[in-house]
Amino acid sequence: MTQTIQNPVLKGFNPDPSIVRVGDDYYIATSTFEWFPGIQIHHSKDLVNWRLVSHVLSRTSQLDMTGMDNSEGVYAPALTYADGKFWVCFSNVHSCRGGNWMATPSFVVTADNIEGPWSEPTPIGNYGFDPSLFHDDDGKKYMLNMIWDGRAKTNFFGGIVMQEFDAERGELVGEPRNIFEGTYLGCTEGPQMLKKDGYYYLITAEAALSATMQ
C-alpha cells in the first residue's frame, strides 16, 4: 500500500529547513529570524510525523535579540552531525546591514544531545550569510559561506568561499578560497557540500537579482 505524505510536514512558520539523519532519527533545523529562542529543532522517525524537541539558542549569552528588527536575527541554520555530536552554523543579521552592504557575523554551536545544552557560539567569519560546515572523512572541517559584494550596480554576489575550521582551536585557519563564482542567474546562497564515492558536490540556491540595484 502506497503512503502519501501530506504537505507541509512542518506546519506553521518553519523556513530554511536543514535536515540530517543520525541512525534511525531525522532532525530538521529551521530559521527563526527575530524570534527568540532561536533555531527550532524537530525530530521524526518516519519523515511524516514531527515534534519540536529543542531550541538551539535559548540563552541571551548565545543570542541577544535586543533591538532586532523585522527579518533580522537568525538566518538559515545548517545542521550536521560528526564526531559524536551535533553542529549548527548560523548567521545573525542585525545592524551589520544597510544600503548595499551586508556582512553578517556567523557562528557555530555544538551539542552532544540534540535537546542540548548547546554551546556558546564560536565565530566563523563575517563574509555574508548562510554558513555551513563540511566534515571531510579525513577529519578536517571546512566552513562554507557566500561573499556579499556591496558595490553598486552589481548582483551583490561575490562568490562561495571555503576555509578550513580548526574545531579544537575553535577558529578558522589558513586562507579562504573562492570556489564558485556563480552563474548568470545572479545571487547564490545556502552553500552545502557533500561527498559521495570520492566526489565532492557543492549544492547552492540561486536567484536573479537586479544588476541595477542602488
Q: Which residues are catalytic?
A: 16, 189
Distance CA 173, CA 167 (A): 10
The candidate with the shortest Cα–Cα distance to 147, out of 157, 139, 155, is 157
Cell 529562542 identifies what position? 37
Distance CA 147, CA 127 (A): 5
Q: Is the peptide bond before 117 cis (omega within 30 degrees of 0)?
A: yes
Distance CA 131, CA 145 (A): 4
Provide the grid cell at 33. 529570524
CA angle 10, 76, 202 (to 5 degrees): 105
Q: Which residues pair with 148 in a beta bridge?
A: 157
In contact, 197 and 143? CB cutoff 8 Å:
no
DSSP state letter for 210: -
